[in-house]
Structure 1
Amino acid sequence: MLKSLLSDKPGARPLVEAIRACRWHLLAAAGFSALVNILYLAPTLYMMQVYDRVVPTGGIITLVLVTIVVFLALGTLAGLDVIRTRLLVRAGLRLDQQLAGRTLGRAMGSHETSARAGQVMREFDQVRSAIGGQGALAILDAPWTPIYLLFCFLLHPLLGLLTLVGALMLFGLAVLNERSTKSRLLKAHEASARAYAAQEQVSTRSEVVRALGMRRGLVARQLTARAEATGAQSEAQFTGGRYSGAIKFLRLMLQSLALGLGAYLAVQQQISAGAIIAASVLLSRAVQPIEQLVGAWPGLVQARAAWKSLTDLYEATGDQDEAHTLLPAPAGRLDLQEVSVRMSDGDTPQLKQVSFSLEPGQMLGVIGPSGSGKTTLARVVAGAYRPQLGAVRLDGSEYGQWDPERLARHIGYLPQDSVLFAGTVKDNISRFEGAADPAADQGAIDLRAVTAAKAAEVHDLIQSLPQGYDTPIGPGGRGLSAGQMQRVALARALYGSPRLLVLDEPNSHLDQDGETALMRALKRAAEAGAAIVIVAHRAGVLASADLLLVMNKGAVSRFGPRDQVLQALQGRGGPRIASVS
């Protein structure tokens, strides 16, 4: 069963290695389970001694001795049970140590957009919890059912036969339960993933929801999504509950039948009086793991589905662990060759065979109507999206040949919505470099952050904040105005003097002073040899552009020197842009 859960694809190798790292915990837990199940025989043997030896002979000393023995056995059993539970919890913690960081990295580094991306860690926690839960204990106890069955046969063949038939009937009910609830549980898991993803998206834009009066509508939409998830979950629980009730009834009936059959055999003098109680206890213990498995089955099925999601993620992002040759720092020559992009949730390509080149020190303006693919192009050039066809090269090396983290150091990206993250202003400008490497020279990081802020001409603005560079900001840049966020995001793009700058609507929230500062910063970056790609609607930011690229329906409509493209557009009634000087 475990083998079927482990993918043999190279990208999923970390999952296999993590399970192997936990194997000693799991093997030790299995060993302690063996001892626990052997000691579970102690009450049965005690009963037989009391009824067969103590009661007929009145042996008080024998009673005291066997009572002491059973107390020691049960105390040892309890201690071993605690140890095996702790071992399973430790296995879950070991799995967390091995995979939590990698899983977060894989999710953040994935080029695919998915409704499940936001709850990858929730699914990972489901897997970790299943390892230390009741389902894992039931799985460890299940192999010992044949041992209890053997003891039943040793008491009397008829008692063994009753236990065997009962165990088979319970197993059959467990199989029917699995078949009836599996699809429902998977449906509930997928519906919950969609509901949580939508909820997280709304939560991060709560101010928009309030301002536009969408609260009631979105609450209703969330309730509909939750109703779908809880409905599927309830349906699975109702179905599983019927089987759980049937299994409990059958187990209790089998215990009663074992007592009745034991009494009959005792009357016939085929077994002792002590064996009557022993038969009922052994039968109960033999079928208990099956009942436990049925009770824990929903959690195990959801954990298996979560593991499948993790496996898919690791298989799709296997290239993140590939070793890359350390390439020299680029000069900034950008080449796009027949690049095409189609989102996973759409049929129409967002980019169609886009090609152009940009030399170090050149500035390219990208214009076009809304929906023409400008933002998608910016994301591809910045390395945020991976094209399905074609190649993006920096100094002749395709992006895939670079280590992603090293490539990002040479690219400055300012997205359209100026995304900032919870932390300090300095943390955001420095791209959280200090958190990524605690051993790094924090003084050097501070210096680079201040240098980038000065290059973006935002140093004075930051100093005016309550705590300067150490001013904390909330998720999404909460605490800063839209213009302040955009200027801090520009400083982040300039951090480390990257050789390629990609700016998507960098002046959308800037006033005249901010736009003037932006243009000066871009001019200095170009003079320093950086290649610059700017997506813009407003003409002012294109005044210094050397080249213009016009997008239309995902394809390049025109590309060339700025003045030639503008003249051609004005002559043919192309996209209207205010005159640029």
Structure 2
Amino acid sequence: MLCRAIAAAGRQVTDGGSRDQGGGVAGHWLFAALAVFGVASNLLMLAGPLFMLVVYDIVLPAGSTETLVVLLLMLAAAQAVQSLVDLSRSRMLARMGAMLRQDEIAPAAFAGAAGAAQSGATVQAFLGSAAALAVLDLPFLPVMLGVLFLFHPLMGALAIGGMAVLAAIGGVERHLARGPRRRLDLAAASAAEELARAGPAAEYLAATGQGGAAARRWRRHDTAAMIAHLRLGDTTAACAVASRGVRVFLQSATIALGAGLAIRGELTGGAMVAGSLLMSRILGPFEQGMTAVPQALRVWRMHRAARRRAAATPPAPPLPGPARVAAEGLAVTMGEGARPVLSGIEFAVGPGQILLILGRSGAGKTMLLRVIAGLLPASAGRVTVGGGNSVPHREGPSAVLGYLPTHPAFCAGTVAEAIAGDAHAPGGGEPMRTAARQAARAAGVEMALLSLPQGFETSVPEAETRLSKGQLHRMALARALAGRPDILLLDDPDIAHDPEGFAILAAALRSARARGASVIVTARQAQLLPLADLVLLIEGGRMQAFGPVGQVMAGLSRRASAVGTAAPASAPRGEVA
């Protein structure tokens, strides 16, 4: 059974497979084998105390050397089998961790679930550690304790008292370590952030002479982390020494108690020695389990959260109707009791229409686009896409959407994969490269990408070092245009800020309109206004106006004439007031 479980799990992990029927069978075999081998390991752990009991109470009085040799060989065989069983349990847990990480957790990271990859690595590391075995062995401690009670109730009571003392020491350690651990996490995170920022900004810091100030800030955070680390280490070491002293004393106290009971004729000499050995087999796993259980609970919560994130990332369905986007009474609040950052947003854009969302920086344009893309849940109202179905909140945009964020980022594949990956060319290969070239041509970056060392097969990290910032933004636009999406969302496209880029963007928008796509573009300035059919004005998270461009502009002109000014004096030049 073990070989079958490990082989099936190994095939699933090495194949990088999904959770298919074979993976499910492997998981069931692993759970069954873990349960059986857990029982076997803990029963075999009693071999040592039983050997002591028989040697002292039977072999020594009988003076039988042959019996002693046979018992010793049996003990060696039992301990060899127990070692193999424990090795097999460790291997099974390691494979379970790999299966969970690969099939349930890590894929969520590539669907946009923040921290999913780290969660997967943490779960896998825990299941591959001795702490996982300690947690699995905790249910068998009552069996060990029951055997000790069979020797004598006082020995069982002594074991319970020792467990209570160890639990109290563990509680004191957690209480004393809470503050230093919190300060260590904060200071270490701040120091790591300083180092992370110093790398990309090294030339700027050197040119402006700010390197010394950055180094002093890092040293301040690192010193705080070092002090917290030392205090945490002192607390942990003190409690560890106290726990070890209690365990050593209790083992000696068990012998003393057994000797006293033997003198009174209530216990045999073999039971006295076996009870001492059994006491160590109880207290050691109990102390290890006290540390492992909180860790297991944290890992379990992390695993459940990662699975919820993965479940909240459904596969992108086909567009359920025409390329239409509408918002009704949309509001977004970032925290309970907080002021809404978006409220009262209502609009509709249909096939072959371009909606321009205008507003100052911080008006809420990016947040509105994230809600439309399904990246952020609405607190009130709803956004509908296609045939009237509400947009589901997912950790990544739907495949029916072409999405260009304000700060685009790419994964570490090839340029072709970054532009037209699985969402637009599931088979990869030549269809993917063709789709990538078509999108790059529409974004005006095809020749720049072909000039890379391997063209569209160049790795993204290498392309990022060779392309300019403007070319990278055009590459991001190509990714949004790949696959000719029915709905195109562009968040303040950077390429619109120079004449050549504006011409490329205008051509892409007209092409999308011509094929019947719904296009939504955000901007702070009004140079894209001639390309738009509809305009939505946002200020302070609230809708100020929505409708056809001519109608909205005429309304604004009448309002400006009524107050005797064309725009408020506080409006920045070039931005929409």
Structure-2 residue corresponding to 1:465: 452
SS of equivalent to 2:338: coil
2:398 aligned counterpart, secondary structure: helix
Q: Provide the C-alpha distance between the structure 2 equivalents of 1:206 and 1:345, rounded to a whole number of angstroms.
A: 37
The alignment covers a number of residue pairs equal to 543
392-401 or 281-290: bigger deviation:
392-401
- What is the match of residue 160 of structure 2? 167
**What residue is the counterpart of 2:372 in the other structure?**
381
Change (3 A) 1:263 1:219: same
Please give the secondary structure, in 2, of the residue aligned with 1:78: helix
Q: Secondary structure of 1:207's match?
A: coil
In the alignment, what sits opposite 1:454?
Answer: 441
State the distance in 2 between where 1:360 and 1:466 align.
40
Identity of aligned residues (%): 30
Moved more, 180-189 or 272-281: 180-189
Structure 1 residue 341 corresponds to structure 2 residue 332: yes
In the other structure, the counterpart of 2:6 is: none
Offset from partner CA, 1:100-150 (integer Å, 9 cap, x none): 2454367x25xxxxxxx3x34323433333334333323333344444444
Q: 2:69 aligns with which of 50, 60, 64?
A: 64
Tell me if structure 1 keeps the 8 A contact 2:413–2:460. Answer: yes
Partner of 1:259: 255
- Equivalent position to 2:323, from 324, 332, 346: 332
Q: How does 1:120-135 map to 2 (within 5 A)?
A: 120-135=116-131
TM-aligned CA deviation for residue 352 of structure 1: 1.8
The residue type paired with residue 92 of structure 1 is G
Determine the C-alpha separation between the residues in 1 that align with 2:387 and 2:211. 50
2:391 to 376, 397, 400: 400
Pair 1:307-2:300 in alignment: yes
1:32: which partner in 2? 37
Q: Is the 8 A contact 2:449 2:456 kept in 1?
A: yes
- State the Cα distance separating 1:277 from its structure 2 match: 2.8
Query: Retained in 1: the 8 A contact 2:104–2:310?
Result: no
From 190, 200, 203, the counterpart of 1:207: 200
The reply to whether residue 92 of structure 1 matches residue 97 of structure 2 is: yes
Per-residue CA shift, 1:475-513, capped at 9, x if unaligned? 994442111011111111111112222222224575432
CA distance in 2 between partners of 1:477 and 1:134 (Å): 42
Q: Which secondary structure does the structure 2 equivalent of 1:85 belong to?
A: helix
Which of 399, 405, 411 in structure 1 is aligned with 2:401?
411
Alpha carbons 1:361, 1:528 under 8 Å: kept: yes
Deviation at 1:452, TM superposition (A): 1.4
SS in 2 for 1:408: coil
For residues 76-120 of structure 1, the C-alpha deviation after alignment (integer angstroms, 9 at most, x for no partner) is 2222222222233233233334422454367x25xxxxxxx3x34
Question: Structure 1 CA distance, aligned partners of 2:110 and 2:297?
Answer: 21
Moved more, 146-155 or 362-371: 146-155
Once the two structures are overlaid, the 10-residue window that deviates more, 209-218 or 516-525, is 209-218
Which residue of structure 1 aligns with residue 15 of structure 2?
none
- The equivalent of 1:41 in structure 2 is 46
Q: Once the 2 structures are TM-superposed, how far is the Cα of residue 26 of structure 1 from its aligned partner? A: 4.4
Aligned-partner Cα distance in 1 for 2:243–2:506: 75
SS for the counterpart of 1:466 is coil
Q: Tell me the secondary structure at the aligned position of residue 467 of structure 2.
A: coil
Alpha-carbon deviation of 1:63? 3.2
Q: Which runs of 5 or more residues in structure 2 are unaligned?
A: 1-18
- Among 412, 416, 419, the residue aligned to 1:426: 416
1:185-200 maps to which residues of 2 (within 5 A)?
188=181, 192=185, 199=192
**TM-score, normalization by structure 2:** 0.79
Distance 1:413 1:450, change over 3 A: same
CA–CA distance in 1 between the matches of 2:35 and 2:183? 32
Asked if 1 retains the 8 angstrom alpha-carbon contact of 2:418 and 2:460, the reply is no
* Residues 1:80 and 2:67 aligned together: no
CA contact under 8 A between 1:32 and 1:80: conserved in structure 2? yes
The separation in 2 between residues aligned to 1:49 and 1:395, in whole angstroms, is 79
2:470 matched residue in structure 1: 483
2:410 partner amino acid: L
| Structure 1: segments with no counterpart, 5+ residues | 1-13, 110-116
8 Å contact kept, 2:399–2:423: no
User: Partner amino acid for 1:467?
Assistant: Q
For 2:497 and 2:459, locate their aligned partners in 1 and report how far apart those are by CA, in whole Å.
22
Answer yes or no: is the 8 Å Cα contact 1:19–1:95 preserved in 2. no
